Every structure is written in C-alpha cells, then in structure tokens.
Chain A
Amino acid sequence: MPTPASGTPPRALRWAVAGSVIVMIAAGGLFYYASQLAAAKRKVHNNEVTVTIHPHSCEPNALTVPAGFNSFRIVNASERAVEWEILDGVLVVEERENIAPGLSQVINATLAPGDYAITCGLLSNPRGTLHVTPTAESEARANARPSMVAFIGPLSEFRVYLSSQGSALIKAVDALSQAIAADDLVQAQALYIPAREAYQRLAPAAQRLAELDNAINARADYFEKREQDPGFTGFHRLEYGLFDQRSTQGLIPVAQQLQANAIQLKQQLLAQSLPPEQLVSIVARTLHNLADTRANSGEEERYSHIDLSGFAANLEVARKVVDLLRPLLARKNADLLHSIDSASTSLEAELNGLKTAQGYRTYDTVSSEQRQQISNKAKVLADALDGIDPALGLSGL
C-alpha cells in the first residue's frame, strides 16, 4: 500500500486515466449514435416518394413501389386541409388527415405486395392507384412460418367469441331455469335446446376446464349410481328430469347451480390463455370425438335426442376457428384450406338434410346408416383440421 506522500501522483493519474476512458467511451457511443441516425435518415430518404395534392388531382396518381417499408411525403398544394389514404378495398391501410394547405407530411407504411387504391384530397377527386411489387424479402417473408405476432388477432377474436357465446349461454340457462321455476314443462323442454346449442359452441374450449365442465356437462355414466347418484347434476340431470321423467320435480336447485356454473365458465374461459396450437387442436378434438363416438351412439342427449343441433353447434365453432386462420392458411397452404372448406360444407349438408320445418329431427329417428354418414364426414373434417398445425407450424411457435 502506498504511503500518503507517494500516493498522490498515482491517484491523480488514475483519475486522469478514468477520465480519458470515460471520454473515449462517450465519444465512441456518440459516433455510433450519429452514424446510426445518419443511416436511418438515408434509409428513409432513399424510399421516400413525393406526392403532391392539387385541388382536383394528385401528382403522381399512379404509384409503383417495392414491398416493405415505404415513406410517402404528401405535399398539400391545394387550398384546403385534406387527407391522403392508402386503401385495401374499403379498408384503410394507412392515412394522414388534416394536412394543412401549403404544408407536407410524411406517411410511413409497411406494405405487402398487391394493388391498393389511394384517396387524394377531396372525396370527389379521382382515386389513384398504388402497385406494390414483390421483393426477394417479401417473398421470403410470405414463405416463412408466421410469427407469434400473427396470431394475436385471431386469438383475440376467438376470445371475443368466447365472451359473446358465454353471455349467450348465461342468458339461455337463465331462461331455462325460469321455466323450471315456473313449473312449465313444455317451455323448459323447448328452452333446453338453445341452452345446449350455446354450450356446444363453447364445448371445445370448456373441455379444457375439467372439473367445471364435468359439473356442467357430465353424463350419468360417469357416476356410480348413474341417474340416481346425488353427484349427477348439470345439463344432463335437467335433461333426464325434463325428457325422461317428464317433470320439473327437484330440478330447481340443479338449474340454479347450472346458472352459477355458466357464469363461472364464462369468467374462467376469458381468464385462460390459449396458445395457437390449442386453438386448432380443441376444435379438431371435438370433431374427432363426434366422429368416433357421439355420432353413432347418440349418447350425448340420450333422453331428449336433440343431438343434431349440438353437432351443428360444434361445426359452427370449428368454422369460426377456420375463418380466423383463413388469411394465414390461404397464404401458406391453399389446398388444405380448400379441403377443410369442402369437408365442412359436406358435413353441414348432411346435417341440413336431417332438418324439418320445426328444426332438426330427433336423433332416435336417424338411422344407423345416416349416423355413419355423419361420423364419416365429421372424421374427414377433423382429419383436415389436424393438417393446420403442421401447415402453419403452430407447435413450433
């Protein structure tokens, strides 16, 4: 350890070294920052397209740009504050409103290849065209596996669907419960159907919640004493009372519990996070189950025989998922999308063939050959849905 007398010069030196190191780091950082800034500016400037809005037209009014990031400098040479928009059909891709007369504004847009329309100032002015040409990068992007970000939209939309169908279930079960409380057997039998349809639209997602779903949907087979078991509750307990016993006796507490469980179900479905691969696998599983078991056995609604409306509701939610993934599928595997669509049309036609003016036929009047047809068509659709995961690379996300 240095003595105080000899310690002063090295300490000063250390401070000087420290100071110069800091200055060097700072200078290096500033240089890096400045060069990045300059590069960014160059990049923007390189791609910038200038469009001038005149009172009755835009110049140029037909643009061609490469796909990817583009900047448009919009110069307003008209007398009014106007807007400039890029449209895909009627949908706005990017826009800038209220560009003041004599001034200009820059619109940045990341564009996919294709043809767009542009609005130009006054609504009555002729629309322009924007042709976006593919680039090596945009082609590579189109062929690449979709990223997780691409699924935020579809998954959000499915959560909105769960919310609205959850509300529909709550409402339908409330109405059913009221009819039971009023001891109106005919009305309760009629209201059992829409309540089940609402449930069957949620079934693929609800089945992830094992315990709650059992309380809502378990059949008598799952209980030791079957129909007589005190643990047998939920929809099928009501069904047993209304259609087999033809009585509302003892059903009021069961209906009330189902009301509470329907509220729970909606809450829990909205609280669950659903990864993209499960969005597809849950609807595929429901259709496989329909094909393998329910279509032939008619076991699901064994007292009321309203199975067909439930099958149709299962198909509806599967179609919802397909529609949400349609843009991604069309891009990645149009053939698969085509097979899915034709399989779902075919299953729908089969079910529609069993419809009368009063609604679907009761399942006890559906022959075993017809049941086999439903099973076969559900299987074709379920198998096609299984192709979505590999096509979009869902499991690898």
Chain B
Amino acid sequence: MKKTPLALFLALGLLHTPLPVLAATAPLDLVQPVSDYKIYVTEQLDELASNTQKFTDAVKKGDLATAKKLYAPTRVYYESIEPIAELFSDLDASIDSRVDDHEKGVTAPDFTGFHRIEYSLFSENSTQGLDQLADGLNKDVKDLQARVAGLTFPPEKVVGGAAALMEEVAATKISGEEDRYSHTDLYDFQGNVDGAKKIFDLFRTQIEQNDKAFAAKVDKNFATVNKILAKYKTADGGFETYDKVKENDRKALVGPVNTLAEDLSTLRGKLGLN
C-alpha cells in the first residue's frame, strides 16, 4: 500500500509526542563534578579563612576604615559556598545569622559573626568591644574549614545548591535586607550567583546531554543577571551600595532570578538524584 496521508499524519503525530524517557545520567559520571565542587569549596574556604584573619585583625586594631573596607569582600567567600556552609546549622548561626533570628535583637548574647560586627562598624561607626566577636568569628571559620574537609558531600545537596543559592538571592538579596547596615548586598548577590553558576558549570556536560535547550536558557538568564550586576561594579573591583541600584534594575532582576531558581530546582531530577 502507498503511503496515505493518514499514515503520514499519524507518523507526524507520533513524532510530536515528547519522548518520555531521556538518557539518564550514569551515577559514576557525577563523581568528577561533585569532587571538583568540593575542591572549589575548599579553595573558597581557604580564601575565607585568610581574609577573615585580615578583617578581624583590622577590627581588633581599631582600624575602622580598613575593617569597613574588608567587610564585604571577606563575606563573599561565605556567600558563594552557602549550600555547604549552611549544612552546619550551629556554625551558620554563629557566623551568618541576621538580627531577625534573635529575639533580643542586637543585644542578644548569641548574636555573633559577620552581621553583629557589621552592626558595630556601620551603624555605630565603632570597633569598640568587638575583640571577642572578632576572635570568635576567626575560630568559627577555622572550625568550618575542618568540618567541611571531613564531610563527604551529599551529591543531592551539591546539585540542589544551585537552586538554593538563587532562592537565597530572591528571598534576601533583592530586598536588600542581608547587609542592612553596610548596604553591601551586591557583593553577596554576586557571591550567590557565582556559586550557583559554578555548580551549573561543573555539571554542564551531564545537563547538556540531557537537555541542551534548558542549558541555553539557564545560561541566558545568568548572563542577564550578571550584566545588570556589572553596571554597579566600582573601579576597585567592588560594588556600589545597594541603595544606588535603580528601581528598574531591581525589577529587571526579579524575573531572571526567579526563573533561575525554578529552573535550577529541576537539576536534581534531571541528574537522577531525586
């Protein structure tokens, strides 16, 4: 029998049906990116430790100007590796909790770490009484280094970390509440975005095998976010304060940030880790 329009039509119809099963990622293919991610986190933590030392040295010397200058570029290493850092709930609280997490606010004795020091430096313009907080921060960062070194990274937390970082941006960075005293939110913003992009890049080969169009869409949204952030870069490699960010740019960030958070949340499933 000759090919009829019906056969042709059915064949076309079948072709249009999305293929339900995509090539699954072999678990062993995830070993390289997961281990490369640990190597990246370890390097970031080394930077965090040495920069925290310099920052707290300035605080303890009473050098307010230097301490203020070093605050944001030091924190950024923590922000980029938050998916792993915040697995340790006790250290996450002592290093990075915000005033809202404490019932008694700034006077709470357990309000310690970066944001407590930020409060004194930027809101009170003072380094008074920060010695103990500075030593504590140094000790906690070293403790974090040791614990991360001994941690076998759970693959689903690594892959899930990309979305977690973008959710963090959506929840706390666009509103400008993270660094409310120093207004250095854009450093953290960039740190979160870089951390998420790092994870995406490490798993790029496996993701592209699975869904090339998806990878292209994610790339495009990362590029949009980075382009807007780049407008606020300063000559010294830092960022303008968050109050300088124009309303239309804040709005322009919301869409791609939310889409990235949503898209990246499908990575675990795409890589067979659900």
Contacts and interface: CB of A to CB of B under 8 A. Distances in A.
A388 B172 CA distance: 47
Contacts of A119: 89
A160 B27 contact: no
Contacts of A21: 10
Q: Select the residue from A119, A125, A152 with max chain B CB neighbours within 10 A.
A: A152
Interface residues of A, number: 44
Contacts of B108: 124
Given A98-B172, A156-B31, A159-B31, A11 B155 contact: no
Q: Report, as a range, how many residues of chain B touch the other chain.
A: 35 or more
Given A11-B5, A14-B6, A18-B10, A153 B87 contact: no
A15 B5 contact: yes
B68 interface: no
Contacts of B172: 97-98
A293 to B, nearest CB: 32
B89 A25 contact: no
Interface stretch (A84-92, A226-234, A280-288, A378-386): A84-92
B34 A156 contact: yes
B97 interface: yes
A92 B85 CA distance: 10
Given A152-B27, A155-B28, A160-B38, A90 B88 contact: yes
Contact of A159 (B4, B32, B87, B103): B32
A220 B32 CA distance: 36
A87 B93 CA distance: 13
Contact of A153 (B6, B153, B171): B153
Given A91-B89, A273-B31, 5 more contacts: A151-B28, A153-B152, A155-B35, A157-B153, A160-B39
Interface of B: 4-6, 9-10, 13, 26-28, 30-32, 34-35, 38-39, 42, 86-93, 97, 100-104, 108, 110, 152-155, 168, 171-172, 272-273
Interface of A: 11, 14-15, 17-18, 21-22, 25, 56, 80-83, 85, 87, 90-92, 95, 97-98, 119, 122-125, 147-149, 151-157, 159-160, 163, 270, 273-275, 324
